[in-house]
């Protein structure tokens, strides 16, 4: 695992640090935890993330923790040695959604061998508790869950 912290929070600094992490030979996927005060935009991030060539996931938060300190600006970039699969559940705030069915459909092609699942949700969504219940219904307690609520998805 390779972990870098970009204190600057600029798009150019983010791209430089991201490339440094992605170029490590053991890195298969990348976790990104960015601060909202970085001011990242879709137009600025998308070309960088689309050219990455490796799966990435994460979010933008009001603050992040790094080495025991909290920051309102900056990005934690974590290069993971495992290849990851990401899924977006768009029906989360739809009260008529069958989240158990959505999860079954989303993961039908995959045999879940993971011991840990990262779950990031829009913190303003009305369906968070339903999602948590459906995750436990579908995957049980054998999986460790890590995550949090976001202001935006990357």
Per-residue pLDDT, 112 = 65
Say if residue 151's pLDDT is above 50.
Answer: no
The reply to whether 103 and 50 lie within a common domain is no
**Average pLDDT score over residue span 24-45:** 94
CA-based R_g, the chain, Å: 16
The total of structural domains in the chain comes to 2
Residue 88 lies in a domain: no
Tens of pLDDT along 72-123?
Answer: 999 999 999 988 888 888 878 877 888 888 888 877 766 666 678 888 887 7
* 10 and 51 share one domain: yes
Judged on CB neighbours under 10 Å (0-12, 13-18, 19+), 119 is middle
Q: Which of 62 and 91 is assigned the larger pLDDT?
A: 62
Judge whether 91 lies within some domain. no
In this prediction, residue 150 carries a pLDDT of 53
**Would you say residue 126 lies in a domain?**
yes
Tell me: do 8 and 63 sit in the same domain: yes
54 found inside a domain:
yes
Residues 75 and 22 in one domain: yes
Q: Same structural domain for residues 65 and 104?
A: no
Query: What's the CA gap between 73 and 118, in Å, rounded?
Result: 22
In a domain, 94, yes or no: no
Bridge partners, 52 (sequence order):
none
pLDDT at 82: 86
With a CB cutoff of 8 Å and minimum separation 6, the contacts of 148 are 59, 61, 120, 121, 123
In this prediction, what percent of the chain has a pLDDT beyond 90? 48
The label of the residue with tokens 């970085």 reads: 38
- Per-residue confidence (pLDDT) for residue 19, from 0 to 100: 95
Same domain, 74 and 7: yes
d(CA 87, CA 138): 15
Domain stop point among 37, 52, 80: 80
H-run or E-run covering 107 = helix 99-107
Provide the residue range defining the domain that includes 104: 99-153
């Amino acid at each position: 695992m390779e972990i870098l912290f970009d204190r600057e929070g600029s798009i150019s600094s983010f791209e430089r640090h991201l490339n440094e992490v992605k170029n490590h030979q053991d890195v298969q996927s990348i976790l990104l935890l960015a601060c909202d005060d970085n001011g990242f935009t879709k137009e600025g991030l998308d070309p960088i993330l689309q050219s990455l060539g490796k799966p990435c996931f994460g979010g933008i938060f009001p603050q992040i923790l790094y080495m025991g300190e909290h920051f309102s600006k900056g990005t934690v970039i974590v290069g993971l040695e495992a290849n990851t699969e990401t899924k977006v559940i768009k029906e989360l705030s739809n009260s008529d959604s069958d989240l158990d069915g959505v999860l079954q459909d989303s993961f039908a092609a995959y045999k879940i061998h993971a011991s840990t699942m990262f779950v990031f949700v829009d913190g303003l969504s009305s369906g968070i508790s339903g999602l948590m219940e459906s995750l436990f219904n579908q995957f049980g307690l054998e999986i460790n869950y890590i995550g949090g609520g976001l202001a935006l998805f990357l």
